[in-house]
Amino acid sequence: MTNLTLSAITDPSDNPLKVDPVKLRDVIVKHHVGSIQNVVKHAYSLEEWHKLINEIQKVSLTETRLKIPFLYCIDAVHGTNFTLNSTLFPHNLGLAATRNPELVKLCAEITAKEVRASGIRYNFSPVLDVGRQPLWPRFPETFGEDVLISTIMGVASIKGYEGKSLNDFASVASCMKHFVGYSVPANGKDRAAAYIPEINLREYFLPPFKAAVDAGSHTLMVNSGEVNGTPVHASRYLLTDVLRNELNYKGIIITDWEDIKKLTERHRVAENHKEAVYLSVNAGIDMCIVPFDFSFYEDLIALVKEGRIKEERINESVKRILDLKFDLGIFERPYVEKEAVKNFGLPEYKQAALAAARESITLLKNADQVLPLEKNKKVLVVGPYANSLTALNGAWSYTWQGRKPEYFPKTDLTILEALKRKVGETNIVYKKDFKEIPSDVKPDYIIVTLGEDAYAETPGNTKSLELPSEDIEGVRNIVKMYPTIPLVYILTEGRPRLIREIEPHAKGVLMAYWPGSQGGNAVADVLYGDYNPSGKLPFTYPRYSGELMTYDHKWLDEAVEIVEPEYKYFYEFDPQYPFGFGLSYTSFELSNLKLSNDQLTGDSKIKVSVDVKNTGRKSGQETVELYSRDHFASVTPSVKRLRGFKKVELKPGETKTVEYEISASDLAFVGEDMKWITEPGAFDIMVGDLKVLLNYRRQ
């Protein structure tokens, strides 16, 4: 039940990685630790991983009483990010923009293959927290603000990681995290308090976890924060009553980093560590990421000897952990598997990373059809992120914070390098610093890279979503210097940084998110028209820091009343770019929205169909999103809710019919009794600007 970090058994110098035999035997033989995780400082080569894991495993199998093999765990959250020369994909936020669950599943499958090839069989991924607070520094790890997208993409990831069997050489155990409510801290900071009415907890935050449980995810990690005044690590209600009993979850519940200790140190619900262990194990914890010492081990044994925790309770957790090891084939094949190693670094992985990065890129503005750029024109490229691998890959990229480019593959290209390769060095002039813009360059276009560099977790806390003032001033100076030259912004960022003040200066805006190892090539392909963008925003891009509103807000959230000089009442919702927005280099037209029956009764289903036509001159992909709006309900309804999405590819002039199936459960909400209900009445069914009326009755 004890999980330690790698530094507990290694030499502090870590150059090269070296296991301390005395520490190793203290951990494995004397204290019977069953799992180890993480890296020390940075990613390792495949060979280093193999040597490390086989060395630990040999001690587990030959020097311990029961000869139980140990389990290695890792965070591989957008590719195998702690193995050198692996394939890194867009972060989940970018993957959500693809609206392509099969592509998300493929990225997870490749990640699983490279993780298992490293000798590791347990991956702390995916994040199922619904990203409804963009200040939160783990926002890029989410699939955005919508519960349906988070659910569908999360399940796709789990199926990709776990495959048909964990015993397969291409599979790893997934970990749905972080249960529950982690992503909406009241102060916007990491590991902070959230205040979530239970009706909202069940409506927006539980569904992805329920779907993940139903999909068979083997493990779950707990929210480091607290919900409504109770730390989740100490919440028997959430971990046992809800997770175990309601959702029928059978797998392992693992803590996050040092979070049992924090019940005393930060949350202050336990007067000492022993009481914290009692609270958490009683709540339902199976495995504790301690991660540096034996405090959990020692206090848990003491609690059992005192009779405060029953041995039967320990047996429950131990059985779950042993079951996972059996499922992963560690008892059969405890050492690094040669068959798995063959799956590392295959050429097609880069193509998948490129496809994911391309499909994620979201075209937010294209005034006067400035994009795609002409390849024979001169371009001035400005900004520090143009020549940065770290700003393309973000968090968890060969180091925890992702800020050390020396560990990236030498073949990965920055945006600048990809642009030069695309159109030739003579057509590209680069200036990193806004203050060094030359006045004698005669560019046809100016590309400005904006956003944010890599960060992970608490170091990524921010007090504002505003761009740095020097970037704003830099853009203004460029406009003064080159008032007639078209500007194009490329945004590489893990959350929406506000561009309100400078957006009018740009003809084009590309949202690249953190697009991963092939992000440079993908941006260049989109800029020059070798790929037609199809990404759709997975969140509402705010215009102001003080107005962070999701697309599925309530009517009252945008209601404005003015009493003087005369009474006025109106609705106001004006984000920079709305949820689901994303342009293309072609145009699409929606028509003929129809219901197979405008009366939905009981448990029956109806079909919704709509025609989508490519009315432009290029082939392109379009995501057709289906929304509903409940006219009236006993709990105030949202302005609209996403109920389905499908992506289609169309040649110029081609029309396809997109169909959905709707039942009463698709229109349900959580009622005042905390149960899902669909109430009789009228609903708008909407696709784009089209709308039809549907009436529901129970019988």
412 among known catalytic residues: no
Distance CA 164, CA 160 (A): 9
What 8-state DSSP symbol labels residue 374? Answer: P
Instruction: Please enumerate in sequence order all residues whose Cβ is within 8 A of that of 366, keeping only pairs 6 or more positions apart, or say none.
Output: 507, 508, 583, 585
Most distant CA atoms of the chain, gap in Å: 85
Distance CA 676, CA 669 (A): 5
Per the CB < 8 A criterion, the answer to whether 409 and 458 are in contact is no
In our burial notation (b when 16+ CB lie closer than 10 A, e otherwise), range 44-79 reads bebebbbbbbeebbebbbeebeeebbbbbbbbbbbb
Per the CB < 8 A criterion, the answer to whether 297 and 129 are in contact is no
Give the DSSP letter string of 238-296.
IIIIIIIIIS---SEEE--TTTTTHHHHTS--SSSHHHHHHHHHHHT--BEE--SSSHH
Phi, psi (deg, nearest 5) at residue 200: -75, -35
Per the CB < 8 A criterion, the answer to whether 367 and 505 are in contact is no
First vs last C-alpha separation in the chain? 51
Cα atoms in the 13 Å half-sphere on the side-chain side of 655: 8
451: left (phi over 0), alpha (psi -120 to 50) or beta: left
In our burial notation (b when 16+ CB lie closer than 10 A, e otherwise), range 222-231 reads bbbbbbeebb
Cis peptide before 126 (omega within 30 of 0): yes
| Residue that the structure tokens 């949350």 belong to | 267
Distance CA 341, CA 119 (A): 8
Q: In what order do the strands lie in the sheet with 252-254?
A: 175-179, 219-222, 252-254
Of residues 256, 286, 327, 630, which has the active-site annotation?
Answer: 256
Instruction: Please enumerate in sequence order all residues whose Cβ is within 8 A of that of 460, keeping only pairs 6 or more positions apart, or say none.
Output: 137, 138, 190, 395, 494
Which are the catalytic amino acids?
256
